[in-house]
Every structure is written in C-alpha cells, then in structure tokens.
Structure 1
C-alpha cells in the first residue's frame, strides 16, 4: 500500500501550479530586464556614463516590480485595458529606445472593459515572451503590438517583419501557447515567407461556464443512470451490455435517450456532463 503524501491533495497540487506560474512570470520579467540592460550597454548612441545611469534605472525599476509581484498576481484585481497596456509599454520601453528592434504600439480604446488581473498579467507576459522570441530572430527589425477589447475578449495582435518562418509548433511559442490555453483562449499563427509572421490571440475576460450537469436537473431512470456512469468511463456498448446484463440494442436505446435529454450529440460530450 503506497504512502500518502501531502502533495497528493488537490489543494497542494493547486498550490504547486500557482507557484509554477509565479516563477514563470518572474523569469519572463527577468529575461526582459536582462535584454534591456544588454541593449543599453551595447548601444552606440550612449556614452559610458549615460549607459551606466540607465542600467541602474532599469535594474531599480525591476527590483521595485519584483517586490510588487505578489500583489500583481492577485486575480481579483481589475485593470483598465488602457492602463494594462501602458504597463506593458513601460516594460518594453528600454528595448524600444535602445535596442535594434523597432516596437510599435497600437493603443487600445480607453473605454474598453476592465481586465481581470489574471488576464492582464497573462496578456503582458504573452507579449513579452513573443517580443523576446522575435529578438532572437536576426531578420526581425520591426514588431507591431495591438490590443483591443470586444467586451467579451481581449484581442492581441503581434506582427513582425522577419523571415516569415514562424509556425504554431515553434518551440519559442510554447510558453505563449500554454498561457493562452490556461485561460481557455485561442492562438493563431500565420506567416508569409519574406514578409513576416502574425500572432492573433483571443483571451476571454470571463472564466468558462461550468457545464450544466443535467443529471442533477433532468429525471433519469435507474438504468439510464447506470448506463451514463459507464459511458463516462469510456466503456463501449458491448462492455456496458455485458456489465449490466442487457443487450447492446438496449444500451443503444438508453444512450440515444441520454443524448437527447442532455442536448448533446456525442458520447464525449455526454461523459463531460457527469459529476464526479
């Protein structure tokens, strides 16, 4: 009999996931800070004294941001979309001013719906990750970043003028894809060789609705409940028939009734409605 540890509990696993997200967020910010410091120190437009002064300013700002990271991770806070975008621009300003990358910002409407904290933080992290990925592509000289809000979603557009070889399966986009997926969003990547790549991202502002567990609201017979529980395990009709001692035709009849009552068309959708 295996030993049960505290890490097996749902609360512990959730805590580990939250910690992993916080670490990833901090690593992302540090990467931008380091790239900014390198851009300043390599700049031919600054003398040593000016470069040193700006480097200190960047490092100091990063330290202040690090101390505030706990508060920034609180998803209960709301941020005006224009304010969230301004913070993103502030994060990228050193790269914009002193790097080889020309970053263009298309301002979102000031009247847009306020963003939940988690969406605002993830959106900034997504854009920072994308810009860093593009920095490592030598052919990229210009990046355009655009935010918009349709009332239900934050819409992010990122376009570069690089070689146009980026695909959705590129390793550099994996952190972005994971963040988008965690928020139940969508990521589309399109590239034209010689003309650049575009990332179009949709992040819902509201959490996905819980599926209506119809078993709690629709009258089901005892046999239908038995069939439903077995369908939820992935059992085939023949396995259900053997388990319950009924014919496959009877199983098909019950499954058909369950699909109709649930208002779904597939067994997978039906299984998703079962409360575990």
Structure 2
C-alpha cells in the first residue's frame, strides 16, 4: 500500500513552482528544494531574462553581493550534465556550491553551502535536478511568451541595470586613470613598483570596461540577430504549413533592441502569424522589421479574405503586450484583400510622471527609506543614516515591497528610479 501522504509536500511544491510568477521563482524553487537539500542561498542565472538575469533567495549577505562576473566564471566550468560540486567564489567569498545547468537555455542554478550528507544521497540530486528543470522551463516559457507583466518589469529593471553599471564604470575608470597618471609620473623613482602597479591598474580598467560591455550585451540584442532568431523560431511552423512566409530583413546597422523589445517583437510576430494561418484561403504572409532609431517598426501582411478581427481574443492579447511597452498596434482589414498589421515598439521607456508616487500612499519614513534604497544603500547603512535600528529598516522595506507591489530590492529600486526617485 502506497503512503500517499508522503508525496503531498513534493506535489504541493511542484504545483507552486509550476504556477510561480517570474518574480517569485527563486523563492518557490528554494522552498521546494530545501526539504531535500538545505543550503544558504539559491541563485538562478539566466540570460533569457535580460532585465533580471539573476533571481535569488536566501542569505542576504550572499545574494546582495553575488555578481554576474562570478556567475559567468562558474558557468564556464560547470558541464551540461551532471550536477557539479566544488568550491567557487560567490558573493565575494569562496564557498562550497552545487551547480546545475539547463541545456535548452543555458541557465545556471547555484546552491551555496549545500548539506554534504544530503548531497551524498542519489535521490537528493535527482529531485533537485527535476525541480530545477521544471523551474528553468517555466522561466524559458514565460520569457518566450513575453506576457505584459514580464515586459513591464523587464523594461524597468533593464534600464536600472544599465544606469548603475555605467555609473560604476565611470566612477572606477576615472579613479584608476588618475592612479595610472600618478604612477607613470617621472617623479617616482621606484620603477619596479610603478611598473607592477601600472599593470594591475590597467588590468582593472579592462575588467571594468568588459563588465560594462557584458552588461550591454545582456540587455541589448542587435536588430539583425533578433530578426534571425525570429526566422529560426518560425521555421518549423512554416515548413509544413504550405503557406509561403516571406521575411524582409531589417537594416543590419539599425539600433540594437533592448531585450524586452526583442522578446516582445518575436512573441507578437509569432502570435500574428498563427492568427493569420487560422484564416481560410491563406497562401502568403509577409513580415518586415525596420528601425527608425527610436522605434522598432513591424509590418505583417497576409493575402487572405480579410477575416482577421481586432476584437478576437488572440489579437487583444497581443495588443496588451504592445501596450506594456507603450507601443501601438494598428490592424487594417480589407474584405477580400487580407489584413495588414502595423506595430510600433519604442526602444526607450517613456518618462513616468513623478506625481504617480502619491498613489503608493507612503508614510514619510517609508519615503525616506525608499530614497536611500534607491541610492543602493544596504539596510545597515540606511539604519545609520536615519538613526534607527536595522530591524526597523527591514520592517519598512517589507512594507515598501507590499505597497509598491514588488518582490525584491532590485524591483523596488528600478520602480523608484522610473518615477524620478534617485
């Protein structure tokens, strides 16, 4: 006789994970994994999510310090299969980790300080691997579908990451360049010391600029590459449909697309092509991208009988995706001649009136905490500045998350900056 009660915790975890919003995926995955493998922190690193490639839960001292450079370095040594264990630098400290990859998207899962006794159990690794693959597949599907909630959150987070990285790069570059000038001065007579420090400083400059370039690569995609990915994604669909799908290439020198715009554009075109294929008497669909420097311009045309309706559920769903990026979708239908769809997606986020902040109903102390949070200060620094305890700061931060409708410091900072709070 099977003990059904034994399986319910795992089944409940699976259900919670399968239904998890992207903002909560790390917390849900850690809740599911912890009964089988205790750990100090869980980090997901996926370039599918251009705005927030890191999704984290656990020890604040670890998740607040872990960097893209550390995760990039770890990903190089982790094989596609099986799970990898060893020492790695995570959060500025060398610590034991369990790392797993998800082959379809290249996503990486890192569990810090895993319990060694539990890790030695084969069943433990099988369950952790299964849960991770479920979470990684959930992330990949959500990003591919590009729902409005993901697009809006990704746009705010992308802008924030680029801004912060650019500021750090400028700050440290200036410092290091000044140091280089001083060390190269002829008034210093210790040639060996000067040469050594010069080399180290030059290396640091290269690393900082590489970090800036890496961040840009993760949040932007060349327009020609984005269109090429669309063509590859549609190839299996068009190969057996009997419908001629023509692709008009965008200019190769067009402005790079923010990641959320590239995701949305592909999802919208896929949805429109599928909607057009459902019509009778379709033999040809043409899709074209262009870029005017400020907007991605999409045009999709079919040669059907004009049966596509702007009020159809699949078209209204696509319209919501466009609206999430402050874009515009226009459908022109001519009976007997087919449908022509025009989509405009702005490449830059629109300015949000700061007056909207009033709708959050923040108390004066909560606003002070948010302003300090927006400058990148940690809880201890905020407590020192305001003359309150760190526990009180944590209390205010939890209330802020609830009022702002966010689930992390990154989201709160991105939302604050998008409303003019710097």
What TM-score results when the alignment is normalised by the length of structure 2? Answer: 0.35
Measure, in 2, the Cα distance between the counterparts of 1:18 and 1:115: 23
Measure, in 2, the Cα distance between the counterparts of 1:99 and 1:18: 37
Instruction: Indicate if the aligned counterparts of 1:95 and 1:101 stay in contact, CA closer than 8 A.
Output: no
* Deviations 1:234-272, CA, capped at 9 Å, x for gaps: xxxxxxxxxxxxxxxxxxxxxxxxxxxxxxxxxxxxxxx
Which residue pairs with 2:247 in the alignment? 105
Matching residue within 307, 323, 335 for 1:165: 307
Which residue pairs with 2:54 in the alignment? none
Tell me the CA shift for residue 211 of structure 1. Answer: 2.2
The alignment status of 1:200 with 2:339, answered yes or no, reads: no
Instruction: Indicate if the aligned counterparts of 2:224 and 2:249 stay in contact, CA closer than 8 A.
Output: yes
Which residue pairs with 2:225 in the alignment? 83
Tell me the CA shift for residue 65 of structure 1. Answer: 4.8
Matching residue within 318, 327, 336 for 1:185: 327
Which residue pairs with 2:276 in the alignment? 134
Tell me the CA shift for residue 144 of structure 1. Answer: 0.2
Matching residue within 88, 104, 108 for 1:64: 104
Across the two proteins, how many residue pairs are aligned to each other? 163
Tell me the CA shift for residue 141 of structure 1. Answer: 1.4
Measure, in 2, the Cα distance between the counterparts of 1:214 and 1:181: 18
C-alpha distance 208-100 of structure 1, shift in aligned 2 (>3 A): same
The alignment status of 1:115 with 2:257, answered yes or no, reads: yes
Tell me, which stretches of 5 or more residues in structure 2 are unaligned?
1-19, 26-47, 49-102, 108-135, 144-153, 159-218, 359-418
User: Which of 64-73 and 185-194 deviates more?
Assistant: 64-73
Measure, in 2, the Cα distance between the counterparts of 1:214 and 1:103: 44
The alignment status of 1:151 with 2:293, answered yes or no, reads: yes
The alignment status of 1:93 with 2:235, answered yes or no, reads: yes
Tell me the CA shift for residue 178 of structure 1. Answer: 0.9
Tell me the CA shift for residue 170 of structure 1. Answer: 2.0
Matching residue within 190, 209, 233 for 2:351: 209
* Deviations 1:197-236, CA, capped at 9 Å, x for gaps: 01100001111112265999xxxxxxxxxxxxxxxxxxxx
Tell me, which stretches of 5 or more residues in structure 1 are unaligned?
1-14, 21-25, 27-62, 217-272
Measure, in 1, the Cα distance between the counterparts of 2:339 and 2:264: 21
Instruction: Indicate if the aligned counterparts of 1:139 and 1:162 stay in contact, CA closer than 8 A.
Output: yes
Instruction: Indicate if the aligned counterparts of 2:306 and 2:335 stay in contact, CA closer than 8 A.
Output: yes
Which stretches of structure 1, 4 residues or more, deviate above 3 A after TM superposition? 15-20, 65-76, 212-216
C-alpha distance 96-135 of structure 1, shift in aligned 2 (>3 A): same
C-alpha distance 184-18 of structure 1, shift in aligned 2 (>3 A): farther
Task: State the Cα RMSD in Å.
Answer: 3.3
* Deviations 1:100-132, CA, capped at 9 Å, x for gaps: 111000000000000000000010000001111
SS in 1 for 2:300: strand
What TM-score results when the alignment is normalised by the length of structure 1? Answer: 0.52
Tell me the CA shift for residue 96 of structure 1. Answer: 2.7
Tell me the CA shift for residue 64 of structure 1. Answer: 2.1
Matching residue within 262, 266, 278 for 1:124: 266
Measure, in 2, the Cα distance between the counterparts of 1:138 and 1:66: 39
Instruction: Indicate if the aligned counterparts of 2:286 and 2:300 stay in contact, CA closer than 8 A.
Output: yes
Measure, in 1, the Cα distance between the counterparts of 2:357 and 2:237: 55
C-alpha distance 89-208 of structure 1, shift in aligned 2 (>3 A): same
Instruction: Indicate if the aligned counterparts of 1:129 and 1:175 stay in contact, CA closer than 8 A.
Output: no
Measure, in 1, the Cα distance between the counterparts of 2:23 and 2:344: 22
Measure, in 2, the Cα distance between the counterparts of 1:138 and 1:18: 40
* Deviations 1:3-48, CA, capped at 9 Å, x for gaps: xxxxxxxxxxxx847579xxxxx9xxxxxxxxxxxxxxxxxxxxxx
